[in-house]
Amino acid sequence: MRLPPVTWSDVERRAGTVPGGPVTRLGGDDGLTVRGLVTDSRRVGPGSLFACVRGAASDGHRFAAAAARAGAAALLVDRPVDVGLPQLHVPSVRAQLGPLGALLAGDPARRLRLAGVTGSNGKTTTSTLLRGVLDAAGTRAGVVGTLGAQVGTRSRGTSLTTPEAPELHELLAWMVEAGAQRAVVEASSIALDMGRIDGLTFDVAVFTGFEEDHLDHHGTIEHYWASKARLFERDRTTAGVVVVDDPWGRRLADQAPVPVTRVGSAEDADVRVLGWRTGAGGTEVLLADDTGGHRLHSPLVGRVHVPNLAAAWAAGRVLGVPATTIADGLATVAPPRGRNTVLGGDGRPTVVVDYAHTPRALAAAIATASDLCGPGGRVHLVLGARGRRDRYKRQGLGESARAADVVWLTNEGSHGEDPAAIMAELRVGLLGAAASVRTVPDRRAAILAAVRAAGPADVALVVGRGHETRMLDTTDPRDAVHLDDAEVANTALIAEHGLPVAADDDLAEQAS
């Protein structure tokens, strides 16, 4: 997709709409045009506007000369640099990424109706469900999130749950070009905190639930919650859908300055969950709203999907989709890859591969695994924790793991940290547990051992990485190796039982 050229004067004009201080043009006449906003000098092409972003580990101003050599037409700076290119001097380069990213992508969001989804767990599944509802309504919808970007049968990879603003707006332009009328965007707390969705206005914002996470970035749980609550500000969304089954959700529903549809099992919920049941064949939910009772069927497996289904239902209603159409859409949505991906069964152990990486998500994953056990069956849990990330929650993961019958502690990608130290922190939460705890540092070997030890009535639950296929044990991304948990588990099933078992790439999610 080739982005349209934009005049230097239009760039200056849009930059001037961002609060914070004066904008000064340093060189370049009104006839200069730029094409595309880029934050990585390695991605600069002829005519690019290179944004010199200050990050935690590097300063984009240092790469201005490299961007010039690569063909950049101009620079966006917060201090002048000694490079022979026109420059636009602004108080904060990062604050400009959303508005200027939108401008240089052709303002695609103006041609889309947008829904945003945030929450500690369930973003990916709820976004996927809502996209299915919108597609069922006859309007082509795209989705951007942890699993990349999709519209129709097309897909593109992304490196972040919510891409940096210029990439996000380019993805929206790609969706418009593919015929999309709507888009669903996963909005991570870090993205909200860093302004990656600035320049977007949503018709509905969805909150799927909350627990401590990403405190390595946010510092405190209050700051983490406040970052998510930004999605519900009056200038970002017209309406909200909030799961109120935890105190943080109820607080958001009470404080949000926009109309909110409350979702949950409480009597005061606007969309109330009256009952549900789940098993290997999927999940059924009975809801009630101001129009009466509604029964939903979904191929997603696990009780954790009950609030996700209810939230997608409520968002569909806010967007004006008829109840029967929402139900039809939810019934046909294939679950995201690596979210309760279910393998085996039928006389073999059942294996569940899931992205669960927070204590509450892990507890829900173990509950789902228990539901899938046969009579007398046991849950074998393969558990690790990511290195250099959210160290504070490792003991909590160990505490949640106490509900399993056998725990296989292993490496999940140490990113330069000592894997043995990570596993020791997980073990602290398991002290005194009835579960049998075994340590197998090699992840591939741990998965093979868990599947081998499981009987026909048992479930081997492999958590933490879900859809991911690259694992890193150093600080250099070039050292990442291929490791797909579902692929390894499937290999183990074949080795133990001599029968090919096709991996179901789609089942259900609880953590994102």
Tell me the binding residues. Answer: 41, 161-162, 188, 196
Coil, helix or strand for 270? coil
How many whole angstroms separate alpha carbon 326 and alpha carbon 235?
27
Give just the sign of the alpha carbon dihedral 125, 127, 133, 136: negative
CA atoms within 13 A on the CB side of 299: 18
DSSP 25: E
How many whole angstroms separate alpha carbon 295 and alpha carbon 277?
11
Helices (H) and strands (E) counted in the chain, each on its own, are 16, 26
Q: Tell me the DSSP string of 418-485.
A: -HHHHHHHHHHHHTT-SSEEEE--SHHHHHHHHHHH--TT-EEEEES-TT--EE--SS-GGG-EE--H
How many whole angstroms separate alpha carbon 87 and alpha carbon 28?
8
The two structure tokens encoding residue 346: 């039928």
326: left (phi over 0), alpha (psi -120 to 50) or beta: alpha
Question: For the sheet containing 87-89, what is the strand order?
Answer: 24-26, 87-89, 74-77, 49-51, 37-38
For the chain, the C-alpha Rg in angstroms (whole number) is: 24
Q: Tell me the DSSP string of 142-207.
A: EEEETTEEEETTEEE--SSSS--HHHHHHHHHHHHHTT-SEEEEE--HHHHHTTTTTT--BSEEEE
How many whole angstroms separate alpha carbon 302 and alpha carbon 284?
10
Angle (CA) 80-86-92 rounded to 5° is 45
How many whole angstroms separate alpha carbon 171 and alpha carbon 177?
10
How many whole angstroms separate alpha carbon 37 and alpha carbon 397?
40
The two structure tokens encoding residue 365: 């994953």
The two structure tokens encoding residue 159: 């490196």
How many whole angstroms separate alpha carbon 298 and alpha carbon 279?
11
